[in-house]
Amino acid sequence: MKRQTGYFVALVLTLAAGAAQGGIPSFVLTGNQQLTVDMHYSDGTLHDQSRADIVSGGRVAEYGGLHAFDSSTVNVFDGYVWSFYAVNSSTVNVFGGYVDGPFFAWGGTVNVSGGRVAWAWLNGGGSTVNISGGQVDGLIANYSSTVNISGGYVDVGAFGAWKSSAVTVSGGLETCHTSQVNFSARTFILGSGLTLDGQRILGTGILGGEWFDGTNWSVEIYQNDPNATILATPEPATLCLLVLGGSALLRRRKA
């Protein structure tokens, strides 16, 4: 993981050097400055309590996208962003638009409620990603990062949580490959190859069930390391729990 951190530092330096090239403007915000991005910028950097709003016609690309530091905020309402970085206590909200390249979080918070994100990479420092809508095509959490998935669509053909990261899923997940995850749902179905030890899921196979909103879901657990912790947490109000081997649903209701 040292190589990844080094890559990030080197990439930022490269972007800073390249921002002055190509004839496309870049922007740097400090203090409480605010900018509505409705044109093409090569890249942008935010510090302090500054804010940038990406709207229709806005494009931040060419040299690496957006870099949010300190307690700054980025709101992606529409438009196109090649990539972004959420560092320190910064916040990035994705309401719409398209983030084409990877976004990286080093201590920042990312909220995805709409739009589409090609790739998410959390690298610790208290990083948090909350996904309640939109589409995320891949996600990796490292070093005590936190991921909360409650809606939207997460196509996790490449989805991992390592180094004490925590993932809580209550909706929106399609497939899963992770080391520590808590599935919170109304009902659960354990397919062939999966067994239950208390609330801990062992083995590999298809895990499915029904989210709290009634939506059916299906997850492929295709790697389950002995050191991993994958939990099935049923709805407290009903305690509906578990079908083994895809047979009849077993329901246990709270008196």
**pLDDT tens across the length of the chain (255 residues):** 333 333 333 334 333 434 444 579 999 999 999 999 999 999 999 999 999 999 999 999 987 789 999 999 999 999 999 999 999 999 999 999 999 988 899 999 999 999 999 888 888 778 999 999 999 988 888 888 888 988 888 865 556 777 778 888 888 776 555 667 888 888 899 999 999 888 899 998 888 888 887 888 888 787 777 777 888 887 654 444 444 333 333 333 333
Q: Is the dihedral of CA 88, 78, 169, 121 positive or negative?
A: negative
Measured between alpha carbons, how far is 45 from 216 in angstroms, rounded to an integer?
41
Residue 142's pLDDT is what? 81
Q: Is the dihedral of CA 245, 250, 254, 255 positive or negative?
A: negative
Q: Determine, yes or no, domain membership for 173.
A: yes
Q: Determine, yes or no, domain membership for 217.
A: no
First vs last Cα of the chain: how many Å apart? 49
Residue 248's pLDDT is what? 31
Which of 138, 132, 211 lies closest to 178 in space, CA to CA?
138
* Residue at 227: amino acid letter: N
* Residue at 161: amino acid letter: A
Residue 159's pLDDT is what? 67
Q: Determine, yes or no, domain membership for 72.
A: yes
pTM for the model stands at 0.76
Q: Determine, yes or no, domain membership for 64.
A: yes
Residue 13's pLDDT is what? 33
Structural domain count, the chain: 1
List of long-range contacts for 197-206, beta carbons under 8 Å, 24+ apart? 199/231, 199/232, 199/233, 200/229, 200/230, 200/231, 201/230, 201/231, 201/232, 206/246
Residue 71's pLDDT is what? 98
Q: Determine, yes or no, domain membership for 167.
A: yes
Q: Determine, yes or no, domain membership for 220.
A: no
Residue 22's pLDDT is what? 59
Q: Determine, yes or no, domain membership for 63.
A: yes
Maximum alpha-carbon separation in the chain:
69
Q: Structural domain of residue 30, as residue ranges?
A: 2-178
State the DSSP string of the chain.
-HHHHHHHHHHHHHHHHHTTSTT---EEE-TT-EEEE-SEEEEEEE-TT-EEEE-TT-EEEEEEEEEE-TT-EEEE-SSEES-EEEETT-EEEE-SSEEEEEEEEEB-EEEEEEEEEEEEEEESSS-EEEEEEEEES-EEEESS-EEEEEEEEE--SSEEE-TT-EEEEEEEE--B--SEEEEEESEEEE-TTEEEETTEEEE-EEEEEE-TTS-EEEEEE----TT-EEEEEE-TTT-B---BTT-SPPB----
Q: Determine, yes or no, domain membership for 252.
A: no
Measured between alpha carbons, how far is 126 from 143 in angstroms, rounded to an integer?
8
Residue 30's pLDDT is what? 98
* 10 φ, ψ (degrees, to nearest 5): -65, -40
Residue 221's pLDDT is what? 82
Residue 238's pLDDT is what? 44
Measured between alpha carbons, how far is 244 from 202 in angstroms, rounded to an integer?
12
